[in-house]
Amino acid sequence: MAYTAQEILEGLAEIVAEETGLPTDAVAKEKSFTDDLDIDSLSMMTIVTHAEDKFGVRIPDDEVKNLTTVGDAVTYIEGAQAA
């Protein structure tokens, strides 16, 4: 069963909150991981690895640098689970 974009956003927000201590409602689609949420490249790797487990998708290292905003990650995960 595929997750909807909204479910992915909510799940991702929980993962980001767990890693950073930010409230989940700070994790909105338009937010930049680095500029708005102050997430460094190591925390980003932790987040995408947990996202892989949660949503059952693969997010290769080379793709991570293309995920600038939370929305980018949601879109990528949505597409990856359909593949």
Does the protein bind other proteins through residue 64 (CB under 8 A)?
yes
Choice from 13, 16, 44, 67 touching other proteins (CB under 8 A): 44
Please report, for residues 25, 62, 81, the alpha-carbon distance to residue 10 in angstroms, rounded to integers and kept in the order given: 9, 24, 16
Q: Which is nearer to other proteins, 7 or 38 (CB)?
A: 38
Return the DSSP state at 32: B
Q: How far apart are CA 63 and CA 17, in angstroms?
A: 22
Does the protein bind other proteins through residue 49 (CB under 8 A)?
yes
Q: Which residues bind other proteins (CB under 8 A)?
A: 40-42, 44-46, 49, 61, 64
